[in-house]
Amino acid sequence: MPQFDPSTFSSQLFWLLICFVVLYWVVSKFAIPRIGDILAQRERVVQDDLDRAESLKGEAKQALADYEAAMAGAREQARMLMFKVTSDTKATAETHNREIGEELTAQIADAEQRIATARDEAMDSLTSIAADAAKDAASRLAGLEVNSDDAESAVIAAMEGTR
Protein backbone atom coordinates (compact mmCIF):
# COMPACT_ATOMS: atom_id res chain seq x y z
CA MET A 1 0.00 0.00 0.00
CA PRO A 2 1.44 3.28 -1.05
CA GLN A 3 0.29 5.26 1.92
CA PHE A 4 2.43 3.10 4.20
CA ASP A 5 5.55 3.71 2.20
CA PRO A 6 7.94 5.76 4.41
CA SER A 7 9.28 7.75 1.47
CA THR A 8 5.83 9.39 0.94
CA PHE A 9 5.22 10.24 4.61
CA SER A 10 6.48 13.78 4.36
CA SER A 11 4.33 14.73 1.39
CA GLN A 12 1.32 13.04 3.00
CA LEU A 13 1.90 14.96 6.20
CA PHE A 14 2.29 18.19 4.22
CA TRP A 15 -1.01 17.71 2.38
CA LEU A 16 -2.69 16.55 5.58
CA LEU A 17 -1.61 19.76 7.26
CA ILE A 18 -2.75 21.88 4.31
CA CYS A 19 -6.17 20.12 4.12
CA PHE A 20 -6.56 20.38 7.86
CA VAL A 21 -5.78 24.13 7.88
CA VAL A 22 -8.12 24.80 4.93
CA LEU A 23 -10.85 22.68 6.44
CA TYR A 24 -10.34 24.36 9.84
CA TRP A 25 -10.46 27.79 8.21
CA VAL A 26 -13.67 26.95 6.24
CA VAL A 27 -15.35 25.46 9.30
CA SER A 28 -14.35 28.36 11.56
CA LYS A 29 -15.35 31.03 9.02
CA PHE A 30 -18.57 29.53 7.68
CA ALA A 31 -19.91 26.54 9.62
CA ILE A 32 -19.24 27.57 13.22
CA PRO A 33 -20.74 31.08 12.87
CA ARG A 34 -23.75 29.58 11.11
CA ILE A 35 -24.19 26.99 13.88
CA GLY A 36 -23.70 29.76 16.47
CA ASP A 37 -26.37 31.86 14.75
CA ILE A 38 -28.74 28.89 14.64
CA LEU A 39 -28.11 28.16 18.33
CA ALA A 40 -28.59 31.84 19.23
CA GLN A 41 -31.78 31.96 17.19
CA ARG A 42 -33.08 28.80 18.91
CA GLU A 43 -32.18 30.28 22.28
CA ARG A 44 -34.08 33.47 21.39
CA VAL A 45 -37.10 31.43 20.24
CA VAL A 46 -37.03 29.33 23.41
CA GLN A 47 -36.63 32.44 25.57
CA ASP A 48 -39.45 34.18 23.69
CA ASP A 49 -41.64 31.10 24.19
CA LEU A 50 -40.76 31.03 27.88
CA ASP A 51 -41.50 34.76 28.21
CA ARG A 52 -44.77 34.32 26.34
CA ALA A 53 -45.68 31.32 28.50
CA GLU A 54 -44.91 33.36 31.61
CA SER A 55 -47.09 36.24 30.40
CA LEU A 56 -49.89 33.80 29.50
CA LYS A 57 -49.53 32.23 32.94
CA GLY A 58 -49.92 35.70 34.47
CA GLU A 59 -52.95 36.35 32.27
CA ALA A 60 -54.41 32.98 33.26
CA LYS A 61 -53.89 33.78 36.94
CA GLN A 62 -55.54 37.16 36.43
CA ALA A 63 -58.41 35.54 34.51
CA LEU A 64 -58.81 32.99 37.32
CA ALA A 65 -58.82 35.77 39.92
CA ASP A 66 -61.39 37.71 37.85
CA TYR A 67 -63.48 34.54 37.48
CA GLU A 68 -63.35 33.84 41.21
CA ALA A 69 -64.25 37.46 41.96
CA ALA A 70 -67.14 37.25 39.49
CA MET A 71 -68.31 33.98 41.05
CA ALA A 72 -68.09 35.49 44.54
CA GLY A 73 -70.09 38.49 43.32
CA ALA A 74 -72.64 36.22 41.68
CA ARG A 75 -72.93 34.12 44.85
CA GLU A 76 -73.40 37.26 46.93
CA GLN A 77 -75.97 38.58 44.48
CA ALA A 78 -77.79 35.22 44.52
CA ARG A 79 -77.70 35.19 48.34
CA MET A 80 -79.13 38.71 48.46
CA LEU A 81 -81.77 37.79 45.89
CA MET A 82 -82.72 34.68 47.86
CA PHE A 83 -82.89 36.76 51.06
CA LYS A 84 -85.11 39.32 49.30
CA VAL A 85 -87.36 36.64 47.80
CA THR A 86 -87.57 34.87 51.15
CA SER A 87 -88.43 38.04 53.03
CA ASP A 88 -90.94 39.08 50.36
CA THR A 89 -92.51 35.62 50.51
CA LYS A 90 -92.64 35.75 54.30
CA ALA A 91 -94.24 39.20 54.19
CA THR A 92 -96.77 38.03 51.62
CA ALA A 93 -97.52 34.89 53.68
CA GLU A 94 -97.92 36.94 56.86
CA THR A 95 -100.25 39.38 55.10
CA HIS A 96 -102.22 36.48 53.63
CA ASN A 97 -102.35 34.71 57.02
CA ARG A 98 -103.49 37.93 58.71
CA GLU A 99 -106.23 38.40 56.11
CA ILE A 100 -107.34 34.78 56.49
CA GLY A 101 -107.22 35.14 60.29
CA GLU A 102 -109.37 38.27 60.16
CA GLU A 103 -111.77 36.56 57.78
CA LEU A 104 -111.96 33.48 60.01
CA THR A 105 -112.43 35.65 63.11
CA ALA A 106 -115.29 37.44 61.35
CA GLN A 107 -116.79 34.10 60.28
CA ILE A 108 -116.44 32.69 63.82
CA ALA A 109 -118.07 35.80 65.30
CA ASP A 110 -120.87 35.55 62.74
CA ALA A 111 -121.31 31.82 63.48
CA GLU A 112 -121.34 32.49 67.24
CA GLN A 113 -123.96 35.18 66.67
CA ARG A 114 -126.07 32.80 64.58
CA ILE A 115 -125.66 30.06 67.20
CA ALA A 116 -126.70 32.49 69.96
CA THR A 117 -129.66 33.61 67.87
CA ALA A 118 -130.63 30.03 67.11
CA ARG A 119 -130.23 29.09 70.82
CA ASP A 120 -132.38 32.03 71.88
CA GLU A 121 -134.97 31.14 69.26
CA ALA A 122 -134.83 27.50 70.35
CA MET A 123 -135.21 28.53 73.98
CA ASP A 124 -138.13 30.78 73.08
CA SER A 125 -139.67 27.96 71.02
CA LEU A 126 -138.94 25.51 73.83
CA THR A 127 -140.68 27.80 76.33
CA SER A 128 -143.69 28.18 74.10
CA ILE A 129 -143.78 24.41 73.32
CA ALA A 130 -143.39 23.56 77.01
CA ALA A 131 -146.14 26.09 77.90
CA ASP A 132 -148.48 24.52 75.29
CA ALA A 133 -147.61 21.04 76.56
CA ALA A 134 -148.23 22.11 80.20
CA LYS A 135 -151.53 23.75 79.24
CA ASP A 136 -152.64 20.60 77.38
CA ALA A 137 -151.49 18.36 80.24
CA ALA A 138 -153.36 20.47 82.82
CA SER A 139 -156.51 20.44 80.76
CA ARG A 140 -156.38 16.71 80.05
CA LEU A 141 -155.14 15.47 83.38
CA ALA A 142 -156.76 17.89 85.80
CA GLY A 143 -159.52 19.21 83.60
CA LEU A 144 -158.35 22.81 84.21
CA GLU A 145 -158.34 25.55 81.64
CA VAL A 146 -155.07 27.51 81.92
CA ASN A 147 -154.48 30.55 79.76
CA SER A 148 -151.32 30.70 77.66
CA ASP A 149 -149.67 33.54 79.65
CA ASP A 150 -149.98 31.71 82.98
CA ALA A 151 -148.65 28.47 81.47
CA GLU A 152 -145.71 30.32 79.92
CA SER A 153 -144.80 32.14 83.16
CA ALA A 154 -144.97 28.82 85.07
CA VAL A 155 -142.62 27.17 82.52
CA ILE A 156 -140.20 30.12 82.71
CA ALA A 157 -140.18 29.92 86.52
CA ALA A 158 -139.54 26.17 86.37
CA MET A 159 -136.68 26.63 83.86
CA GLU A 160 -135.03 29.33 85.97
CA GLY A 161 -135.23 27.08 89.01
CA THR A 162 -133.24 24.35 87.18
CA ARG A 163 -130.49 26.68 86.06
With a cut of 90, say whether residue 70 has pLDDT above it.
Answer: yes
Most confident listed range (2-11, 12-21, 120-129, 154-163): 12-21
Q: Place 18 in a pLDDT band, splitting at 50, 70 and 90.
A: very high
Identity of the amino acid at 50: L
Q: 106-131, pLDDT tens digit by residue?
A: 999 999 999 999 988 887 777 778 87
CA separation for the pair 67, 161 (Å, rounded): 89
* Mean pLDDT calculated for residue range 34-43: 95
* Rounded distance between C-alpha atoms, residue 48 and residue 40, angstroms: 12
Contact 154, 137 (CB under 8 A): no
Every domain of the chain and the residues it spans: 42-162
Question: Does the model's pTM come out above 0.85?
Answer: no
CA distance 80 to 66: 21
Give 133's Cβ-side CA count (13 Å radius): 7
CB 146 within 8 A of CB 138: yes
